[in-house]
A and B are shown apart, each in its own frame.
Chain A
């Protein structure tokens, strides 16, 4: 039978993990938001008609995708200060996760756009729609249904990536449970609750993603 103490759970573990959970959620939401915008920018650069820009953008995307996230977190954490940029660990961590996921969401956007048949672009030309209108009224509404669920999966993935920040001492939930463990020589309660937290958050975000998906389907595509 597992050794479990409820008084310890309520007096020590839950209050400290509650605070740390806030940091986890914050890191997830902020890096996801930056990844949404960053991916869009990378995708636009990659699709640029100016070859050098599109070449550099796709190399950058490949490089980011080809390196483990933990290595990138360490890299930013140890290298940035040496070039004179000293940021709080949480900011550095959010940056690393956002950059890494930008390279992934860029692909999502690209795939979503390519899912729109060429005939739709051609019909827009034949009807003399402006490029802006073509994107806004024809292309985006048709690429959102595949894009939204794929982006949602990255939101869930980012949640599960935030424990990596414990390696650079960001006080998110994994780091907090390790600290509790080493302070009290008791790991069971903190680590179990951290696990339950991730499970619950995954279910909640999956439900959110599904709701967003249905909303898009209902309001844009019939």
Chain B
């Protein structure tokens, strides 16, 4: 393992009186593909949301490539980060949502060039060129001028992946990327993610209920329960030889349901 790309250091996240993450320590190495599994409400989505800065945290430090995200260095110590600092560090992370969250008033291509032009300062021509490469990669060149409402769920999610990649993130977060899809569209989205995972130039952190897929693409699987990592390891160990009783119970339930 190289140095951690992402590091949670005693991260605590509360919603009112409910503590969702309780002093979580968690690392993802550069280029690593990590999947997070666990029962509903165990805090999986919350891990991604605090990393994307969609939610603030109450305690602890999140590090990205060795730089603090929610804090910043000042006079030899750490102080709460400014908005500008958060924006700078956050630009290394991209996220793909369960419900796609494409911009409905923009075409597939416009969805993919808006942020690169505004935030990366690319010219329109550069942004279009890059976006077309990515739309080609996800197999949607012919849909460039379609609006999200004219696309199937699977196509929308592939555009959303292209849109996230257009910002050139180093780390990509996936929150149950296929949960909102009809079964026949799951495959096309998984094969795009599979391709990204195989490239190993991206660090990937994914929450999924697709156990077979997690086993296939992950370098490491983390089982979350009650806001903590209860067990983690290589997929063959987690799925083939689970140790913790709660993981065993979870897996038998999930496999039964299939």
Contacts and interface: CB of A to CB of B under 8 A. Distances in A.
**Co-complex (A, B):** yes
Contacts of B36: none
Contacts of B164: 126-127
A129 B113 CA distance: 12
A86 interface: no
Interface in A104-137: 117, 119-120, 122-123, 125-130, 133, 137
Interface in B78-108: 87, 90-91, 93-95, 97, 99, 101-105
A138 B103 contact: yes
B147 to A, nearest CB: 5
A120 B119 contact: no
Given A122-B54, A137-B114, A222-B147, A129 B101 contact: no
A207 interface: no
B118 interface: yes
Nearest to B97: A119
Given A120-B103, A222-B147, A127 B97 contact: no
Interface residues of B, number: 24
B141 interface: no
B218 to A, nearest CB: 22
A142 B102 CA distance: 12
Contacts, number: 58
A141 B54 CA distance: 22
Nearest to A220: B105
Contacts of A122: 52, 54, 97, 101
A128 B52 CA distance: 10
A210 B28 CA distance: 54
B53 interface: yes
A130 B105 CA distance: 18
A120 B103 CA distance: 7
B115 interface: yes
A122 B45 CA distance: 13
A123 B147 contact: no
A120 B119 CA distance: 17
A126 B52 contact: yes
Contacts of A130: 87, 118-119
B214 interface: no
Interface residues of A, number: 19
Nearest to B98: A119
B220 interface: no
A129 B87 CA distance: 9
Contacts of A221: 104-105
B6 to A, nearest CB: 15
B167 interface: yes
Contacts of B130: none
Contacts of A142: 104-105
A220 B104 CA distance: 10
Given A133-B118, A221-B105, A125 B99 contact: no
Contacts of B104: 142, 221
Interface string B141-159: 0000001000000000000
Contacts of B147: 222
B171 to A, nearest CB: 12
A117 B163 CA distance: 19
A128 B119 contact: yes
A126 B87 CA distance: 10
Interface in B105-147: 105, 114-115, 118-119, 147
B54 A129 contact: no
Nearest to A144: B105
Contacts of A125: 52-54, 90
Contacts of B119: 127-130, 133
The 8 closest A-B pairs by CB, nearest first: A127-B115, A119-B101, A123-B101, A126-B95, A128-B119, A133-B118, A128-B91, A221-B105
Given A123-B97, A126-B52, A220-B105, 9 more contacts: A125-B54, A126-B54, A126-B95, A126-B164, A127-B119, A127-B167, A129-B115, A129-B118, A133-B118
Interface of B: 52-54, 87, 90-91, 93-95, 97, 99, 101-105, 114-115, 118-119, 147, 163-164, 167
22 contacts: A117-B101, A119-B97, A120-B101, A122-B54, A122-B97, A123-B102, A125-B54, A125-B90, A126-B54, A126-B93, A127-B94, A128-B87, A128-B115, A129-B114, A129-B119, A130-B118, A130-B119, A133-B118, A133-B119, A141-B105, A221-B105, A222-B147
